[in-house]
Chains A and B, each alone.
Chain A
Amino acid sequence: MSENPNNWPLWEVFIQSKRGLDHKHVGSLHAADAQMAIENARDVYTRRQEGNSIWVVPASAISASNHDDGGMLFDPADDKTYRHPTFYQMPEGAKYI
């Protein structure tokens, strides 16, 4: 079955729950354009005061890494503990450091 060209495209929805916090991915929905996507996201994802601001992004615009490449991408960080402050020994008595 071929897809109807008039099917609404898919949008990914990000909600900021409070001023100052990150926009967080909450899910997706179909809408004809960005404005409708925002309006639908309001109805679907903020019915219980979850929202302060909404971002919508066409799902087709998102590129994602592959979970199976996780080792290649993220393992190199494993042996670099010197990137964390707790790696360093501070002399006894030193303050505010």
Chain B
Amino acid sequence: MTDVKTLEDVFQAKVDAEQKIEPKDWMPDAYRKNLVRQISQHAHSEVVGMLPEGNWIGRAPSLRRKAILLAKVQDEAGHGLYLYSAVETLGTSREKTNDDLNSGKAKYSSIFNYPTLTWADIGAVGWLVDGAAIMNQVMLCRTSYGPYARAMVRICKEESFHQRQGYEIMGVLAKGTPEQREMAQDALNRWWWPSLMMFGPSDADSPHSAQSMKWKIKRQSNDELRQIFIDRTVQQAEVIGLTIPDPELKWNEETKHYDWGEIDWTEFNNVIAGNGPCNRERLAARNKAHSEGAWVRDAAMAYAAKKAKKKQAA
């Protein structure tokens, strides 16, 4: 017992001294488990996040927008891969991580269970959903686990164009015909609250938060990040002339932040529980891709084995 205690002290001392924890270091089981849960959830979000956007690749309004959207979706696949690799360094195989997603055991960001109904939704997703994700990801560049932090640095470098292209789409629509403007406002109306939910429950109700802060997996609280996001986004909405759908939104001169309304956590919990508009569709799409790709994976291995044999014989 004393041994574990000492190991844990050494571990915590490293974390407190802002030293990164690396794969071969001793770490508490709960730290490892917590990371596997969080990083794989993050990876799944990148991968499932391709689905609502992929929905519009074939219908993008111009070649320019189509090339941009393709590049963005390809980035998301890459981001999923960086994160899956980080999970693997913790001793959990890719197959297991993937199985947990496909079986519905693992979670992904509940925002991707909402549908992308119009082209403006692609704008809103980039501006708000990627914008909210970036807040979290910038913080995670300083997370205590080395491979996770390195994946995050790479992701952050690539991510900022995602938010900008979305904001550009919204700005262009807001300046367009009355119908286009309405389309942009409608997308903002539908994506605003789910985007705020992306930061997770309020600190008081967040089950993993305190421990994650102590281990420096998380560096800022859900509420803190949410507030910064709101402050920034309200200003951006003003610039392009769209209205945030919150009647209680008001600048607070004292706190120098916006006060804002209540999040409907019942909706949040309902979507997490699997009852969002697209939960079943998303999981079905992932399972279909995985099972229909099985022959490709097998064939590639068979071909590699054949080539290796030929090389040996020569």
Q: Which residues of A contact B308 (CB under 8 A)?
A: 33
Instruction: Check A29–B81 contact: CB distance below 8 A.
Output: yes
Q: Does B259 contact A (CB under 8 A)?
A: no
Tell me which of B81, B99, B300 contacts A8 (CB under 8 A): B300
Instruction: Check B301–A32 contact: CB distance below 8 A.
Output: yes
Q: A27-B82, A64-B24, A68-B25 are in contact. Are A33 and B307 (CB under 8 A)?
A: yes
Q: Does A44 contact B (CB under 8 A)?
A: yes
Q: Which residues 18-34 in A have Cβ within 8 Å of B in the complex?
A: 26-30, 32-33
Tell me which of A10, A36, A47 contacts B300 (CB under 8 A): A36
Beyond A6-B298, A43-B74, A47-B158, 6 additional pairs, beta carbon < 8 A: A27-B81, A29-B85, A32-B301, A32-B303, A47-B78, A68-B26
User: A29's closest neighbor in chain B, by CB?
Assistant: B81
Q: Does B96 contact A (CB under 8 A)?
A: yes
- Return 25 A-B CB contacts under 8 Å, by A number: A1-B95, A6-B297, A7-B297, A10-B94, A26-B154, A27-B81, A27-B82, A28-B88, A29-B81, A30-B94, A32-B303, A32-B304, A33-B303, A33-B304, A33-B307, A36-B300, A36-B304, A43-B74, A43-B78, A47-B74, A47-B75, A48-B158, A64-B24, A67-B25, A68-B24
Minimum CB–CB distance for A3 against chain B, Å: 6
Instruction: Check A10–B24 contact: CB distance below 8 A.
Output: no
Q: Does A4 contact B (CB under 8 A)?
A: yes
Q: Does A86 contact B (CB under 8 A)?
A: no
Instruction: Check A32–B300 contact: CB distance below 8 A.
Output: yes
A-B contact count (CB 8 A): 60
Minimum CB–CB distance for B261 against chain A, Å: 40
B contact residues vs A (CB 8 Å cutoff) = 22, 24-26, 71, 74-75, 78, 81-82, 85, 88, 93-96, 99, 150-151, 154, 158, 297-298, 300-301, 303-304, 307-308
Q: Which residues of B contact A26 (CB under 8 A)?
A: 154
Secondary structure at the B interface, as helix, strand, loop or mixed, is helix
User: B79's closest neighbor in chain A, by CB?
Assistant: A44
Instruction: Check B24–A66 contact: CB distance below 8 A.
Output: yes
Q: Which residues of B contact A7 (CB under 8 A)?
A: 93-95, 297
Instruction: Check B95–A3 contact: CB distance below 8 A.
Output: yes
A contact residues vs B (CB 8 Å cutoff) = 1, 3-4, 6-8, 10, 26-30, 32-33, 36, 43-44, 47-48, 64, 66-68
Instruction: Check A10–B95 contact: CB distance below 8 A.
Output: no
Q: Which residues of A contact B158 (CB under 8 A)?
A: 47-48
Q: How far is the CA of A48 from the CA of B75 in the complex (A)?
A: 10
Instruction: Check B99–A67 contact: CB distance below 8 A.
Output: no
Q: How far is the CA of A4 from the CA of B24 in the complex (A)?
A: 25
Minimum CB–CB distance for B305 against chain A, Å: 9
Q: Which residues of B contact A1 (CB under 8 A)?
A: 95-96, 99
Q: Which residues of A contact B25 (CB under 8 A)?
A: 67-68
Q: A67-B22, A68-B26 are in contact. Are A8 and B297 (CB under 8 A)?
A: yes
Tell me which of B74, B151, B297 contacts A27 (CB under 8 A): B151
Q: How far is the CA of A33 from the CA of B300 in the complex (A)?
A: 8
Instruction: Check B301–A6 contact: CB distance below 8 A.
Output: yes
Q: A47-B74, A67-B22 are in contact. Are A28 and B300 (CB under 8 A)?
A: no
Q: How far is the CA of A44 from the CA of B71 in the complex (A)?
A: 12
